[in-house]
Amino acid sequence: MVANKMWGGRFEGGPAKIMEEFTPSIDFDKRLAEQDLAGSRAHARMLASQGIISKTDADVILKGLDAVAAEIAEGKFAFRRDLEDIHLNIEARLAEIVGPAAGRLHTARSRNDQVATDFRLWVRAACERADGKLTELIGTLVKRAGEHTATIMPGFTHMQGAQPVTFGHHCLAYAEMFGRDRDRFADAQKRLNECPLGSAALAGTSFPVDRETVARALGFARPMRNSLDAVSARDFALEYLAAATIAATHLSKLAGELVQWCSPQFRFVRLSDAFTTGSSIMPQKRNPDAAELVRGKTGRVLGDFVALATVVKGLVLAYGSDLQEDKERVFDAADTLERSLAVMTGMIADLAVNAEAMRAAANAGYPTATDLADWLVRVLQKPFREAHHIAGAIVKHAEELKLDLDKLPLAEMQAIEPAITADVLNVLSLEASVASRMSYGGTAPERVREQIILWGKRLP
């Protein structure tokens, strides 16, 4: 066995057999091929423009890189594990195509700044993909909200019926969450958009490189200001994973509600055959597998974040092979999040809403008791704590009589608080309760419609 000819001048022998299986990253970092080619093109053009290599050599290199790109696109490129990673695979194939000129491409760069650049380009694109899929999901939620601005359902605290809300309002709550997720990915993308290329191994380079030109060519806002930081920083990957974890957590919350809502005990919604499965033993079952998997995969995305945070927490400057572990975690999280977003969008788009079941559930548990207390404060000028006590006593009496609050005779309420008038009956229905929640951000259908209009302006 001989040393790797791409970097082995210092070595007389080759790696141990187990190292041939342990060290290569090509099995996963081949996903960086497009980014690696883009970086190499920008680097070659800069080297020529700075007179570091000849224009003739640069032209030969660029044509060779186009040939490599075509082979990869057509599935004809032979990825070799003995060449370890995507960088050496492309460089070796380039040498086979164009000859010695290929060796000039690596002038004034290292695999350290090369992989940092490739990875930033990939994560930047992942942020853009996440934003696109989040936008689709938000648009779907807003559309369903528009269909159900007045569809009454129970609002819960502690998983107990609390106050009535509308299904449209509920949908918009998730739109707000996913809107913040969009902001997080946009923030992450803004911070990561600096170019490491030209930092070389860790100290910069003695060649007169033009890092500004390379950064602009690759769509970065600027070059990174410190070469040590440029090759070692992976906080951009952690920030992407943090944003992905929060988004996945929001998906999990919504998925958990769908699992509950489509059960026979709730019957709030029905998921289509496209997102449910049957049981191998119980023919009556319609299992919400898609929602359960979205909920379950949240742990996977969180695990990716924890894994990478654990890798980088003890690393010193500048580059260590530990950082080879960064890409699999980010690739896995991105794949998982993007699929989960697509599945959730599909479920929300075609679920059927059972408005009657929602309304019946909303009417259980005296959900307008707060409206009664508010009326006592507003009309009878009672202190809220006293009103709360009176309303509680009336609810207890209605419960003893097995009557809904809006069906309790006025005389029964007046036996507890003589000052109550017939006007109170105007606030005790579900519709009246929902319509009264006119504060900004409230569940009143009028407010929900206003928010839908605002979302129409916010979405691309």
| Catalytic positions | 158, 279
Instruction: Give CA–CA dist 196/236, Å, rounded.
Output: 12
Instruction: Give yes or no for a contact between 100 and 67, defined as CB atoms under 8 angstroms apart.
Output: no
Pairing between strand 152-157 and 160-166?
Answer: antiparallel
Q: Which two tokens stand for residue 310?
A: 């654990």
Give me the long-range contacts of 157-160 (CB less than 8 A, separation at least 24). 160/365
Q: Which two tokens stand for residue 452?
A: 């839908």
Instruction: Give CA–CA dist 289/254, Å, rounded.
Output: 14
Residue 446, sorted as left (phi over 0), alpha (psi -120 to 50) or beta, turns out to be alpha
